[in-house]
Amino acid sequence: MYAHLRYIYGEAYYYNVTETGTDEVTYGQSADENFLAADLSGRAAFNGNNSRADRVWFAAFPNINTASGVIKNASAVGTVSPALVAEARFFRAFDYFLLVQTFGGVPLDLGSGELQFNTTPIRTSVRNTVPEVYTKAVFPDLLIAINDLPATPRVIGGVTKTLARLYLAKAYLTYAWWLENPNNIPTYPEAQRTDPDGHNAQWYYQKAYDLAADGIDNPGQYRLQPTYYDVNVGTNDRNAETMLYADHTESSQLYNAGDLSNGSAGAPDNFASWMLTWNYPSIRSFKTAGASGTGNASSVQREAVQPLGRPWVRMAPTIGAIMNTFADKTNDSRYDGTFTTVYRGNWLRGTGVPETTLYNANNLPVSMGDPILTFLNSEPATAITYPSGAGASGVGAGVLPGRADWVVGPNGISRIAYPGLWKLGPYRTDNGTGLGSPNAGSTRPYYVAKFSELYFVAAEAAVKGATTKAGKSARELINVIRARAGKWRFDNSSNAAKVQDNSAAMVAATPATIDINYILAERSREYYGEGYRWYDLVRTQKWNELAGTYRIGGNNFGDHTPTTVTRTIQPYHYLRPIPQAQLDALDVPADVKAAYQNPGY
């Protein structure tokens, strides 16, 4: 059951549909149809063939059936502990929660009755409604899991009471939004926005708050890390803030379930981080002073280190995410702890460039480890001089007087050149003195759940009217996260220690009144690029409002003129299409098959 997480989390095509098309991410220069379609900007029709939400569908249902088998047969065996059965219940609820958020109502009967273990292949299927999935499957299993799971995990990364509390709180919160339906978004299969148990949305908001607050007060082994950098740095993987992850290892190809030298570009490899990595190995410097044209030295080579990794250029951050979401790059450490903004020379660890000194912008010398290209935090007072085309840097970067590094301003970010996603970058201990194995899938865990999210769930429920506890108003909860974000111990952009506490400034800058848009902005600052965003925007019905347009430069090196792109986000897009492969496998009349698909697709 833990292993099936690898077929969803870290799987780059599923990762695409959680991020592309949101205010965080658009398609990159090398995007194929899967990414172009997900952007909903007119480049390709979005349908059941190219929606990679199929990764959820085909990974979740086999695991659900396995969990049902454990639940059914454990009592017959007589020696299986309730805690172990509760792990199966957690994962069955986990998968159904993911499915119902993604597709709407889904089948509870896999062939032998609702929530029963099935051993007989069938080619028919009937979808249950959203309320049925929540009240028959998700809520009951998680309530039992909270009761029967241990406070301390059975194995490293194992599920616990606190993790089950987080997921039940998230499920209550999501269902409350569904019941409220503030923007009249359609559901499917059609169902009244009423709860079979007779509760209203406000009741569920309160339950979400109470459970999340209880999780904060009873953390077990979990705790917030002292700085945001500590949450995501590879040397601190599997830290006490991380509650659930799709795990990988560099110590065994068998247990990693993926080649340690060359990734397969498919599950169970962890290759999500490739998507938001641009082709930085195209950066060039000069071997001799005074040279002209395009540089003849590859000064930043492909390397298996967290700031770099394997470039695929399938996805790109929007300019709005860089400039607006992360507007405060001075006090708030999260921009620096999310992106690679400085690309440093590493050529002596590679091949083909034996020179110890190269010449870069303004014909100035650079050495190993020096900045070769920098994505600036803000537009400088002195205008950047950009080339026409790729220019001397090979990637269209510009120059500023007196600087040896090539530079790109935030308004110059494009689909082909942009800050990379440091937080998901690879970390290996077996690189030796070389570049390591940058073409392999990441051997790091892909995080699925973090303790910090309890604060966000409670804060969101409070904004929606839940009665709060002393010290746990929406603003107080968010300020716990923001205060931590103001604490620095390392600066990625300067590659140096930075002990600085800006928590007071961060707290002072928090609005007196917190609203949903502010919660969503904080969630983006905290979880940018981790696969949360589409679900956040769909849950709160803010997708079109916050992501209906975005700004980005073009597909060619040297294109630094941003354009505004308009997306066509229709109400039916709030559900992903049922995979075409599932429809093809059904042996039912054509009208029944057509009715199985979500409307609009």
Compute the distance between CA of residue 327 and CA of residue 529 in angstroms, rounded to an integer. Answer: 17
Q: Which secondary structure element, helix H or strand E, spans residue 594, and what is its range?
A: helix 590-596
d(CA 574, CA 379): 36
CB count within 10 Å of CB 571 equals 15
Environment class of 470 (CB within 10 Å of its CB; exposed 0-12, middle 13-18, buried 19+): exposed
> Of how many residues is the chain composed?
601
| Cα-based distances in Å from 12 to 7, 81, 247, 439 | 10, 36, 15, 14
Report how far residue 474's alpha carbon sits from residue 476's, in angstroms, rounded to the nearest whole number. Answer: 6
Determine the angle formed by the axes of helices 161-180 and 82-103, rounding to 10 degrees.
Answer: 30
DSSP state of 140: H
Name 327's Cβ contacts closer than 8 Å, sequence gap at least 6: none
Whose tokens are 């409070």? That residue is: 462
pLDDT along the chain (601 residues), means of 10: 98 98 98 98 97 97 98 92 97 98 98 97 96 98 98 96 98 98 98 97 98 97 98 98 98 95 96 98 97 96 98 98 98 98 98 96 98 98 97 98 98 98 98 97 98 98 98 98 98 98 98 98 98 98 98 98 98 98 97 98 97
CB atoms within 10 A of CB 190: 11
Look-up of token digits 């917030």:
224
Alpha helices, H only, 437-586: 453-463, 474-485, 503-508, 516-527, 533-539, 543-547, 580-585
> Is 92 in contact with 67 (CB distance < 8 Å)?
yes
